[in-house]
Amino acid sequence: MKKKPKLLPADTLADEHLFQQAVEGVVPLKASVTTDSKAPRRQLVVNSEIALQDFVEDDSHEPLQADRKGNAETDSTHRKNGVKRQTLQKLIRGQFPLEDQFDLHHLNTHTGKIELLKFIAWSQQQGLRCIRIIHGKGLHSKQGPKLKLMARQVLREHARVMAFTSCKPAEGGEGATDVLLKS
């Protein structure tokens, strides 16, 4: 059974007619496309052999070099261009929740570099934002902290790393590094 359409009073019909006459010939503006939703996250598919070829170069015979802007051995913090100081300060204070960690102990620099890159790629796939790399202080190494220097060099050059800092003394100090990844 259909409902009867409501009849409008005569003065409402006259108002509607007047309105139609007033807007006759008006061209509506084009509506801009806006949305509150975000674009879907891109799935990062990592084929370990192909993806690592982009990052890993055979540097087993080359000594680790410090970054041009500073000494990799003494620089305990780093942020990429465009990353706010406040963001780095939050990382230093431990205000980002730590989501995973990776231990480089008992690895040589070449294997450690490959495994570190795999861990960063995996962390990115999982959507992790803050991770910890445990590399040690190099106190028992005759040539100094090789893993620490390698890890910081990789982190400085990696496109997905926004910032990093040494951990608090109670959490490993200079023997571990907290890393902030792009989301």
Q: Give pLDDT tens digits for 159-179.
A: 899 999 988 888 888 888 999
Long-range contacts of 105-112 (CB under 8 A, 24+ apart): 105/134, 105/135, 105/136, 105/147, 107/147, 109/60, 109/64, 109/146, 109/147, 109/150, 110/58, 110/59, 110/60, 112/147, 112/150, 112/151
What is the average per-residue pLDDT within 54-73? 44
| CATH class for the region spanning 77-181 | alpha beta
Question: Which pLDDT tens digit goes with each residue over 14-35?
Answer: 788 888 888 888 887 777 666 5
49: amino acid identity, one letter:
E
pLDDT of 12: 63
CA distance 84 to 133: 22
Mean pLDDT of 95-124: 89
pLDDT for 164: 92
64-84: per-residue pLDDT in tens? 443 334 444 457 888 888 888
According to the model, what pLDDT value does residue 182 have? 87
**Highest mean pLDDT (candidates 26-40, 46-60, 70-84, 105-119):** 105-119
What are the residue boundaries of the structural domains of the chain, listed by start? 77-181
Q: Which one is predicted more confidently, 117 or 46?
A: 117
**Overall average pLDDT of the 51-71 stretch:** 44
Hey, which bits of 32-172 come out as E strands?
Answer: 77-79, 100-103, 130-134, 161-166
From CA 7, how far away is CA 13, in angstroms rounded?
A: 10
Strand, helix or coil at 19? helix
How many percent of the chain have pLDDT more than 70?
68
